[in-house]
Amino acid sequence: MNIYNGPSAEDIVAIKANFALNDEQRAIIDHVDRVAREILHPLQEKMDAEEWWPEDLFKKMGELGLLGITAPVELGGSGQDEFTQALVSEILSKWNPAVGLSHGAHDNLCLNNLLRNGSQDQIDNYVPGLCNGTLVGALGLTEPGAGSDALGSMATTAVRDGDDYVLNGTKIYITNGPIADIVLVYAKTDKSKGAKGISAFIVETATLGFKVAQKLDKMGFRGSPTGELVFEDCRVPASNMIGLENTGVSVVMSGLDLERAMVASMCVGMSERALELALEYSQLREQFGKPISQFQMMQSKLAEIYVDVESARAMSYRALAACAGLPKGAGGRGEIHKLTAAACLYAAEAFNRSVTAACHIHGGSGYMQDTEINRLFRANKLLEIGAGTSEVRKIIIAEELLRG
């Protein structure tokens, strides 16, 4: 029988050490907060109303030092760890959720995966552009018939033909897809091996045979470009394969744990903003001759939101601390797999509770689509679906607990 004993004393010491930011990290966080509040926050309303992404925003983010957080300084990055990168994502998501989502797809799903798994030539070729924003990155995994079973049900194929691989298939719900310059794409190179017959490729979107079939209109995170990508006899140089043939699963799994920890961090930032908006509105809105913040029912809601925010933050930071410095090839199993799934599950559900309560505090104004709290409310559902649904996260936790 397996007994759960929780983190060891050594684990707790390491967690506490990782939560303490050094002076350089604090300077980065202060800079990102100021830039996000002053430059990105005012873009929210237009981005949401029009599903609009400013054409040069990635280049602007590159100039402002918001990209390439984990990339080496010599390649144009900040040379920081994944913990710092997640804090950046948290702040961006707080002030502009659409930018936070696109930043995560670019800086984590594409750039981090490339740094962890790419060859030196691939890194040298693409990372500088991803850091300065002249290249926009995306990840192509999900397909119309392959969501939670993304690997087993994958239908996109890649067939070797001389010095190239020829890709055919469709990817859907791809964040940054309509504006990406490179997409890290997964395709079946050996159908007989099922999920173990998948390979990863860097696909330049200027390649003949690649096209954006449609830009998708979303409920939340509007402005962050999401699309359906089609590959029709799309020729990709064999040198653009990441790792060896049929080893794509290890590339996927190496990034999944960090992705879930990053999603948890996004939830924290957005929950914190929901609390700020609820607190501000409750002190301005008067009923029965006094601010509604003076009513105990409102105070109860505010207190509950605060508890959810700080609980999610603690769990998110613990998962991020475990992800920082994760060796190549690690992840996708064991304690880290369980922990990141738990952090993602809890933070997403905490955000759902927080933003729902905050929306209630706003009353009728919270139901109006052009309000910030409404934008947060519409965004929350994706975070219980993306990076594995809440149900999948529970399965992972239970499987790892029972495995011992």
Instruction: Show which residues are catalytic.
Output: 259
Query: Helix axis angle, 296-323 relative to 82-95, nearest 10°?
Result: 150
Question: Nearest Cα to 172, choosing from 200, 138, 196, 198?
Answer: 138
* Inter-residue contact 159 to 85 (CB < 8 Å): no
d(CA 311, CA 388): 21
Count of positions (residues) in the chain? 404
Cα–Cα distance, 53 to 222 (Å, whole number): 9
Half-sphere exposure for 398 (CA within 13 Å, toward CB):
6
Pairwise CA distance, residues 318 & 16, whole Å: 9
Cα–Cα distance measured from residue 26 to residue 30, given in angstroms and rounded to the nearest whole number: 6
- H-helix or E-strand containing 164? strand 164-175
Cα gap 223→53, rounded to integer Å: 5
Identify the three-state secondary structure at position 13: helix
